[in-house]
Structure 1
Amino acid sequence: MVAKWDDDLIFMLEQSYRLYPFYQKQMQECDSKIESIGKEYLSQINSTSSTFEYLPSGKKNRHKNAVAFDVEPYACALWGINLMRVPEISEVTVLKLMGELGYNFTDKFETYKQFCRWWNVSPNNKISDGKVLSGKISKRKNPVGIILRTTANNLRASKCPPWLFLSTDSIQKWAYVRRGDYR
């Protein structure tokens, strides 16, 4: 086998190969720092909050550059629910939401409408004389809204039907009726 190797390409490949272990080490340091900050933050919160029941989702993180620690218990301790049990929500998504929302974020909004407006997921309806003149979503970008829209699009495109993760019997019955499966 004969090949023609350019010296400049070999040099670039060598430089990239030397940088890869350095970046891996930097990512491990970032993961350990995030975990230590999470433990410190939860120790401050858990002194004032109630206990919760942790139900693991059973998801395995199969990515090469995955988070080095288990995010699930931190999210459960922070919000009291396990978002990882929802299909198409990964550890990275939960980490982003933890960073953006923090603890007890629902107290910052008086109604759910204000919360949805802050996400930028509800339209800005302009009404005059009882008629809706326009109902566009404003162009400002909220990271939480982007995360939730991406997750909703992934869930819609996935092969996993959404009623598989519903846990309440009444909601399951509603889902069965909606799809025409009367039980």
Structure 2
Amino acid sequence: MLAVPPLIWRYRRLILLLAFAGVLVALYRVSGLHEDFSLDYLRNELQDNRLRGLLLFVGLFALGNLLHIPGLLFLAAAVLALGKLWGGLITYGAAVFSCGFTFLIVRSIGGNGLRLLNNRLTRAVFSHLDQRPASSVFLLRHAFITSPTLNYSLALSGIGFAPYMLGTLLGLPIPLLLCCLLFDRLGNVLLG
């Protein structure tokens, strides 16, 4: 019987997560779905058929988060298609769903994988995260909004789902609002 080296066994869930991400990226490229991740495509879908476009928008946002596609692409498309108010509100709902979905998928595969990294830096980061999980997520959302890397890291950090979602729900509105105003202004300048 072939013995699994202890190091591989210890990091098996992280290795499985990397394999999952690799397969997901390969399927994304082979399926041609990458052609749907454009500002024009998303904007047209939201304008042409509101219900179908909204469902597609939420689904692509969640998939995009897993694939490390920045959420600001989705926000820009929604603001340009629906205006800053409706585009911002729809993006907020999609972002909350996407962050929660990513957390659950990554946690189910990777577990608390980052806790295996036992060094001074990770212990310091985790001590702050453990003491004030929701407020830490709240502050991180202000800096990184819906960053896929942040979502993966928090999912692998061992933080609970409830504080993660609370920090996300409360932390996203202000940065999303500022980005909505920026994209609305850019849209007015560029599109006349």
If you compute each CA radius of gyration, which structure gives the higher value, 1 or 2?
1
- Greater relative contact order, per chain length (Cα 8 Å cut-off, separation 6+): 2
Question: Shorter-chain-normalised TM-score: which range?
Answer: under 0.3
What TM-score, normalized by structure 2, do the two folds share?
A: 0.25
Higher strand share: 1
Higher helix share: 2
